[in-house]
Copies of this chain bind each other. A is one copy, B any other.
Amino acid sequence: MKKSLQKLKEIDTELQLISHTSALLGWDQETYMPRGAVEERARQQALLSGILHDYLTDTKVGSLLEACGVSEENLKGDNNLDERDRAFLRKFSREYFRETKIPKDLVVAFSEEASLSQAQWIEARKKSDFSLFAPHLQKILDLSREKAEKIGYTDHPYDALLDEFEPFATTASIKKIFSSLKPELMDLVRKIAGSKQVDDSFLLKNYPVREQEAFGRTVLQDLGFDFNRGRLDVSAHPFTTSTGSDDVRLTTRYQENQFRTGIFGIIHECGHGLYELGFPDDIKVSILAEGTSLGIHESQSRTWENIIGRSLPFWEYYFPKLKDMFPNQLRDVNLEQFYKGINKVEPSMIRVDADEVTYPLHIILRFELELALISGELAVKDLPEAWNSKMEELLGIRPENDAEGVLQDVHWSFGAIGYFPTYALGNLYGAQFFNSMKKSLGNVDDLIKQGDFGIILGWLRENIHQYGSIFTAEELCINATGEPLNPVYCSKYLENKYRSIYGF
């Protein structure tokens, strides 16, 4: 058994090395690759995906798992193995069973349709014409349903899709969480709308990119991002990727006339990066050296971006430095005005530009529509109208066209159905973790005010990062906070913060 386990770990190492290589191909494509290379790059990626699939689904992998006592009913294998090895087996065997259930034909059909569909989505969005994208979305939905049937589920086909991004989560559990969150957020939005709006016009002045970047790099360094094991570059859409266990790369984008975009992009990605850099040596280059779910991953980025990065103490520390750098742009602005400006709440059409309060409502909208599409209750042709109505219901605004409505996100076009909920889970987990951290560390605000982020990062390392995927999201949450995910922490955090900003 020890020998089989060892062999599985060797196969896993090879899978990770290839995944990291594939991540580099992806990073390069978004940052430095010349345009003409795009076609061959797709073929390079497809070949690596094929190699990964073949390695993972090789029949010898099945025999080795069996030799370790693993079955679909007992993912963690033999009781006599130590807990870390059993955690490895759970994570590895879940991927194995999932991947082997999807026939290669379906994998290929899905990946081909995803390519086509993404190209068509770009076109459709440009023309703001949903009808161009509709037949492809239909195909993606059909293939997704087929995938869900192959993978299997107990209650809802959506469970099988969600599981890829948020392992062990269920449609029912998400529904329950969102059903309490939704009215609270809507109520908060109403209260804010009834208050005097804050001014953020000074954030729209001209902030030269070079200075924005210098400021961002200083912040990254202060927060504990290790440039010996990572980088910061520019791409059209910010992201974080690990091209090695000691090689975590962040990207952001800068807008000269919108100060928020660059810096909060950087702090957000830094949160992802610190998680990836916080896995301990003994699980490096293994399947355990990954975030345990996208929701947990997003909790790290949202905590640094919003709870810390948009807090008053954070800018008590940084605002004087920022003012030194941009004396003209911020001449007549004081700390309080700045703090309020970066936290302006206002219902808007585009998810990625949304503030902290309205953001989860954008997610709830997508979740409800995805469920209805997958279950067949909603037809693709009726989707734009359903989207627009739901926007009115949740945020009180109605898109004027498909581009600022149903066509705004790339996710569906490449087949990522079941992905959106993880964004909102990130806000919820983040607030709950932060609450526990405060209880444990006490004066967190004072630390932030002094620009002393090491103790905060230490708590996250200790309670979250060091475990990689050893615990499930729920286990991790219970260990770190004493209870499973509870949306009340996020609601309370938002209520308190915005009551003081808007004075309702």
Contact = CB atoms under 8 A, between A and B. Distances in A.
Interface string A201-233: 000000000000000000000000011111101
B229 A40 contact: no
Contacts of A230: 34
Nearest to A13: B43
A48 interface: yes
A246 interface: yes
A7 interface: no
Nearest to A40: B244
25 contacts: A17-B47, A18-B47, A20-B44, A21-B48, A24-B24, A24-B25, A28-B243, A32-B32, A32-B231, A33-B247, A34-B227, A34-B228, A34-B231, A34-B246, A36-B228, A36-B229, A36-B246, A37-B243, A37-B247, A39-B246, A40-B245, A40-B285, A41-B244, A41-B247, A44-B244
B231 A14 contact: no
A176 interface: no
A35 interface: yes
A116 interface: no
A244 B35 CA distance: 12
Nearest to A227: B34
A243 B17 CA distance: 19
Given A33-B247, A35-B228, A37-B247, A44 B17 contact: yes
Interface string A233-255: 10000000001111100000000
Nearest to A226: B36
A51 interface: yes
Contacts of A21: 21, 25, 44, 48
A28 B485 CA distance: 41
A20 B32 contact: no
Interface of A: 14, 17-18, 20-21, 24-25, 28, 32-37, 39-41, 43-44, 47-48, 51, 226-231, 233, 243-247, 284-285
Contacts of A226: 36
A428 B229 CA distance: 45
Q: Closest 3 interchain pairs by CB?
A: A37-B247, A36-B229, A36-B246
A155 to B, nearest CB: 41
B51 A246 contact: no
Nearest to A31: B32
A36 B243 CA distance: 12
Given A43-B17, A44-B244, A229 B37 contact: yes
A28 B243 CA distance: 11
Given A28-B28, A34-B231, A231-B32, A20 B47 contact: no
A47 B231 contact: no
Contacts of A247: 33-34, 36-37, 40-41
Contacts of A285: 40, 43
Contacts of A47: 14, 17-18
A35 B230 CA distance: 9
Contacts of A229: 34, 36-37
A24 B17 contact: no
Contacts of A231: 32, 34
Nearest to A231: B34
Contacts of A35: 228
